[in-house]
Amino acid sequence: MRLDGVSAIITGGASGLGRAVAERFIAEGARVVVLDRSEARVAELTAQHRSRLVGVVGDVRDLTAHRRAVDRAVAEFGHLDVLVANAGIWDYGCSLADLPDDRIDAAFDELIGINVKGYLLAAKAAQRALVASRGTMIFTVSNAGFYPDGGGPLYTASKHAVVGLVRQLAFECAPYVRVNGVAPGAISSDLRGPSSLDMANRSIGDVLKPEMMLGKMPIDRLPTPEDYAAAFVFLAAAKESGQATGSIINIDGGFAARGVARPRGGDRLGEDETIR
């Protein structure tokens, strides 16, 4: 799938999954605007890709930051075809019982503000340009948008909200703009947590280790961000995915295919050669 001539915005695109998507888009021929709050990472990525990538530093909770990104895409590339709303934070599975009473308000506002409001504002800023180009929005969801225990109540609530946002905006933006999502599972990346819970310096890559996946999922290896990037390319490619809207690609290692007692049984054929 090629994205020649496609212009895209990717929020949270300077690290982790967002960076993998940005680099895959560029490899497929797209030109990209990355909106990210890390000035250093934006500068590094811009220097690496030069004419193919424009960096905008800003907070996804700020509508003006998204509008600056849209304006740069249109000014530099002539149009905007794809919005990838991806920036997010994780709550490290912090349970309701463990949420400190005096931090609930701040933690809720921070996590929902980034994971949900950030997507809504991105869509608001990009909608008019995407209508003009008959473009598409792609939201990063999570297995936590469908199942429990992919995070704590704050993160799980935020990703369930993103599922609803995908479906509502697919309805509202039809027929000119397609709106879809990608729901990754576990990932080895630099995903951080809310500063309000003292988790801003923690990385999900420090918590999830490859050995933790063994025997837990039908596909029991720990994916890298690059493992998920092709799903975003598919949804961005209008020729290949033109009939998809309101859809979410679950690419999560098989959460829905786990058994009650164990994740799989087919591998026993390799252990017992007498089975025919």
Would you say 3 and 28 are in contact if contact means Cβ atoms under 8 Å apart?
A: yes
Q: Which residues pair with 53 in a beta bridge?
A: 32
**Closest C-alpha among 154, 213, 162, 159 to residue 186:** 213
**Closest C-alpha among 245, 54, 35 to residue 135:** 245
Omega of the bond leading into 175 within 30 degrees of 0 (cis):
yes
What does the pLDDT profile of the chain (276 residues) look like in tens digits?
899 999 999 999 999 999 999 999 999 999 999 999 999 999 999 999 999 999 999 999 999 999 999 999 999 999 999 999 999 999 999 999 999 999 999 999 999 999 999 999 999 999 999 999 999 999 999 999 999 999 999 999 999 999 999 999 999 999 999 999 999 998 888 889 999 999 999 888 777 777 767 777 888 888 999 999 999 999 999 999 999 999 999 999 998 888 765 655 555 555 555 444
Q: How far is CA 201 from CA 9, 196, 233, 247, in A?
A: 26, 11, 30, 33
Residue 228 annotated in active site: no
Q: Exactly one of 92, 119, 155, 228 is catalytic; name it.
A: 155
Using DSSP bridges, classify how beta strands 31-36 and 248-251 pair: parallel, antiparallel or unpaired: unpaired
DSSP string, 40-68: HHHHHHHHHHGGGEEEEE--TT-HHHHHH
H-helix or E-strand spanning residue 171: helix 153-173
Domains contained in the chain, CATH given: 7-254 (3.40.50.720)
